[in-house]
A and B are shown apart, each in its own frame.
Chain A
Amino acid sequence: MATTDAVLPETHDDHGHGHDHAHPSFLAHHFDTPEQQFDSGKLGMWLFLVTEILFFSGLFCAYAIFRSLRPDVFEGCSQFLNTKLGAINTGVLLFSSLTMAWAVRCAQIEDHKGCTGMLAATLSCAMVFLGVKSIEYSHKWELGLLPPFAYSYDPNAPHHEGISWYLIYMCIPFAIGLVGLVAWLLKSLATGNTFAVNVAKPMVVVFAFFFVGVGLGTILESGEAKHEDAAHAAAGHDGESHDGAHAGEMAGEHALAATSSPAAAGISPVLERLATDDGNTGIRDDITARERQTEVAGTSVVADKSEISQPIESVPGVINTKTQAGVFFAIYYCMTGIHAIHILAGIGVMTWLLVRSVRQDFNRHYFGPVDYVGLYWHIVDLIWIYLFPLLYLIR
């Protein structure tokens, strides 16, 4: 409470000479009381948040339409999203919401050190979130899991090894920021500028936390790599069985109640007899092809179409196309990308708050800015609360 003691005389003097007449420096001249100012600002912030909700509802609407059209595509593509990374990011955002609410409390009770610390914690969580997100994005871009115009996923393509260039591009701005802040910190340490030191110190930590997030994401992603290989193998297998189903259908046209191997391949006795003639190379080739096809298909020949539990279109192996998986990833990048832009904006305004908190601008009659940014931050968290299960947890 040492800081409180140090600051109170100053803030108290601002309105100490009579609450009705003297205008403290933080009170805009068109407001009568700090409370009126606070309530007006809060109302404005809520109106802004309403527009944010409506803005995001457009994205949720697109999601609802495409998911209702092709639930199988969403189920299949969701396998490519790393649930662990999503869950970690959810936890990080929830924790940042806690620290933000705590920062508001600190501003209200005039605990300036605490407020600065809590804002720095919130900023660090935002950076960890972005770091993990950059791992997710770069991994998907390497695989070619992109919106329709650039979708180029090939399950048989070799795995990319080493650090992705996309990740490096995404790290560059944060690395530059970190280096700049360290330089600024050293310069202000040298010149003895206490205020700049107090601002630069938490900001260096905040920018360093981006790379903590990248490290965390890398560890979790590599842990998941084995599982993903299995998923790839499964995808390849699904593709095969899909072809097999086709072969089976063709075979079914020729021999419905077939049991012997050549007959299962849809080769009629007449064809077989014809093939014994050396001149009929075409028919022999055809038979070989059919036999091979049956081999690929396995032994399960679908005889009756009514027995097919799922239509061909819903076999997971076939969703790997631009207008199916591509559309899913377009929605994924729009929703998570716009959310990430909101995180970046939040980082911007919270940096401003941190500077003002170091300057000890906030007191129990003027904590509006912290409160309003807090509301914004909670809305960003709120949207992620819905995004996470909708995108990552489709079984």
Chain B
Amino acid sequence: MTSSHAHAVADHGHDPNDFAHPLPIWMLLAVFVALTVLTIITVAQASYDLGSYDVIVTMVIATIKATLVMLFFMHLAFDKPFNMIIFLSSFVFVALFIMFTLFDAKLNSPSFIPVVDEPVTTVAAP
């Protein structure tokens, strides 16, 4: 009874039946601070003219944030690797899906409905 109580309180119980892996609070807070800092960086970089690298920079930052969330908040860094394999495999299919659809869209774009039309309202000066 007392021993099981000790396990419940301790982060890592030695009871072979214990499988819970509580994350330490400092780790949770560190991840949150890192995510907030990265968010501030993304917002700040938007006011600088980075040209066509704009999208790449924001996407790289977003991917770093996503990786942090996945590894720590979603516990993938400490989980059985099978979950990670399943999750990452979805991105393979997402990449295939988006790549092939974009190829197709590029080839067929002239046949799309005209994407330039008249303004809804007259915006000219009176």
Contacts and interface: CB of A to CB of B under 8 A. Distances in A.
Contacts of A340: none
Given A102-B25, A386-B66, A57 B4 contact: no
A271 to B, nearest CB: 24
B101 A101 contact: no
Contact of A321 (B9, B86, B94, B119): B119
Contacts of A236: 123, 125
B25 A385 contact: no
A53 interface: yes
Contacts of A83: 43, 46
A19 B73 contact: no
A338 interface: no
Chain A interface SS verdict (over half)? helix
A130 B80 CA distance: 34
A322 B124 contact: no
Interface stretch (A148-156, A160-168, A169-177, A182-190): A148-156
Contacts of A153: 120-121
A131 to B, nearest CB: 19
A98 B86 CA distance: 24
Interface in A100-141: 100-102, 104-105, 108-110
A367 B125 CA distance: 65
Contacts of B125: 236, 239-240, 243, 296
- Interface range on chain B: under 10, 10 to 19, 20 to 34, or 35 or more? 35 or more
Contact of A8 (B8, B39, B50, B61): B8
A54 B98 CA distance: 10
Interface in B43-97: 43, 46-47, 49-50, 54, 58-59, 61-62, 65-66, 69-70, 72-75, 79-80, 82-83, 86-87, 89-91, 93-94, 97
Interface in A236-261: 236, 239-240, 242-243
A64 B102 contact: yes
Given A5-B5, A64-B102, A90-B39, A46 B87 contact: yes
Closest A-B pairs by Cβ, 10 of them? A239-B123, A389-B58, A108-B20, A50-B90, A98-B32, A57-B94, A35-B19, A393-B46, A108-B22, A154-B121
Interface of A: 1, 4-5, 8-9, 12, 19, 33-35, 38-39, 42-43, 46-47, 49-50, 53-54, 57-58, 60-61, 64-65, 68-70, 73, 83, 87, 90-91, 94-95, 97-98, 100-102, 104-105, 108-110, 151-156, 235-236, 239-240, 242-243, 296, 313, 317-318, 320-324, 327, 363-365, 367, 371, 374-375, 378-379, 381-382, 385-386, 388-390, 393-395
Given A19-B17, A69-B105, A109-B22, 19 more contacts: A4-B9, A42-B83, A50-B90, A60-B94, A61-B101, A91-B39, A156-B121, A235-B123, A313-B116, A320-B123, A364-B13, A382-B69, A382-B70, A385-B65, A385-B69, A386-B59, A388-B62, A390-B58, A395-B49
